[in-house]
Chain A
Amino acid sequence: MEGERKRGARLCSVCKKARASVKRPKTLEQICRECFYDAFESEIHQVIVENELFKVGERVAIGASGGKDSTVLAYVLSKLNRIHNYGLHLFLLSVDEGITGYRDDSLQTVHRNQLQYGLPLQLVSYKDLYGWTMDEIVQVIGLKNNCTFCGVFRRQALDRGAALLNVDKLVTGHNADDIAETVLLNLLRGDVARLSRCTSITTGIYSPNAYRGFAREFIKDLERIRPRAILDIIKSGESFRICTGTKMPEQGTCQRCGYISSQKWCKACVLLDGLNRGLPKLGIGRSPGSEKGSKQCGTLHF
């Protein structure tokens, strides 16, 4: 009995003192809580330094949803800024979509982050930015396609909030699972423009969450067979090169609001125009009228 109960006995492979409490998928090392924090924070510091992500004196907004990823980001970045003297002015930036009963909990977490890390908080709401709350949009569009609105509006809301705060940079927190999933989805969709962008450090991406669930389950299954699989997928995304003959969409600006866009109007303006004209389905789907005849993707065999 006692012999089998080894879980308390195994020591951290780094400090050799404390009890190991986690196995890092990246290295398969068994390490304790403190050594994991140390490794995690110093790797992030290394990435920041090597890629020269920040300059002294810059104003940086941290996208804060109140979820685990952005909370970890706010904690780590404010800590690194303090101990390594980055000289950054950090702000928390939160988006209120206007969904009754949904944000309350997570906005509480953001308010706690504000106090814990002493960071000023800027809240921007869909209502202020677009004239519509998500609740009002759902009333018009129904429950089916509202993710398109919420996703497009959220990505822009962060940028608009960042402009309001007059910051030089906006950072958002993600985890390896999310990024691997995005690489896979962009690959499956054949979206080469996003595929090469989605792992690069300096540009953000927006991907709708609709069929993420399948990819997520798939990569978590892969991870069980091979713990490094998630990082390997990210690596493939990073090393992806598009042959020079491929025509890539050009980045321009929206003729209506000035936001970055590869089209005449940015996606948010197309969606808003539809809402305001009482044609909310405008801008959803690949082309007008494609909704009914939309193709289903086939089954994948591995």
Chain B
Amino acid sequence: MQLTLEFGGGLELLCDSKKIHDVNIEQHNGEDKLIMKDLLSWVRNNLIKERPEMFMKGDTVRPGVLVLVNDCDWELSGQLNTSLEEKDVVVFISTLHGG
């Protein structure tokens, strides 16, 4: 599945200071759908190079990290259970690095 991931507010520093990542995620076990929970663990394993605790806490993002799926706050789409589709754009913005 092709997705565009964007990191901002300082989170880009955890992934080689690159803000926009066009990624291709392979789905496993014959599952045909991908949800945000899967994406987060994929990001943690594949994109985050340092200090993963700045990005995640438990199985979700650290409090204070905004998540937008196609410009919409993921709180409206089911957070971890938000299902993703081809060409979706997911944005992560940390609000913890000052104003």
Contact = CB atoms under 8 A, between A and B. Distances in A.
Interface of A: 1, 4-8, 10, 19-23, 30, 33, 65, 67-70, 173-175, 177-178, 216-217, 220-221, 223-224
B25 interface: no
A67 B98 contact: yes
B36 to A, nearest CB: 11
A220 to B, nearest CB: 3
Give the one of B70, B73, B76, B85 with max A CB within 10 A: B76
Given A20-B76, A21-B76, A223-B63, A7 B69 contact: yes
A217 B63 contact: yes
Q: What's the dominant secondary structure at chain B's contact region?
A: loop
On chain B, which size bracket covers the interface?
20 to 34
B99 A4 contact: no
Given A217-B63, A221-B63, A23 B73 contact: yes
A67 B83 CA distance: 33
A1 B63 CA distance: 29
A7 B99 contact: no
22 contacts: A1-B33, A5-B85, A6-B78, A7-B78, A7-B82, A8-B70, A10-B76, A19-B72, A20-B76, A21-B68, A21-B71, A21-B73, A23-B73, A30-B76, A67-B98, A68-B99, A69-B99, A70-B99, A216-B64, A216-B96, A217-B62, A224-B63
Interface of B: 33, 62-64, 68-73, 75-78, 82-83, 85, 95-96, 98-99
Contacts of A221: 63
Nearest to B64: A220
B63 A5 contact: no
Contact of A217 (B33, B64, B98): B64
A180 B95 CA distance: 14
A68 B72 CA distance: 19
A23 B99 contact: no
A264 B45 CA distance: 56
A69 B38 CA distance: 33
Nearest to B85: A5
B62 to A, nearest CB: 8
Contacts of A217: 62-64
Contact of B75 (A6, A23, A175): A23
A8 B69 CA distance: 10
Given A7-B82, A216-B64, A22 B73 contact: yes
B72 A7 contact: yes
Nearest to B68: A21
A7 B64 contact: no
Given A7-B69, A19-B72, A67 B77 contact: no
Nearest to B99: A69
Q: Which 8 A-B pairs have the closest CB atoms?
A: A69-B99, A220-B63, A7-B77, A220-B64, A67-B99, A21-B72, A22-B73, A23-B75
Nearest to B77: A7
Contacts of A224: 63
A216 B95 CA distance: 10
A160 B68 CA distance: 40
B96 A23 contact: no
A7 B63 contact: no
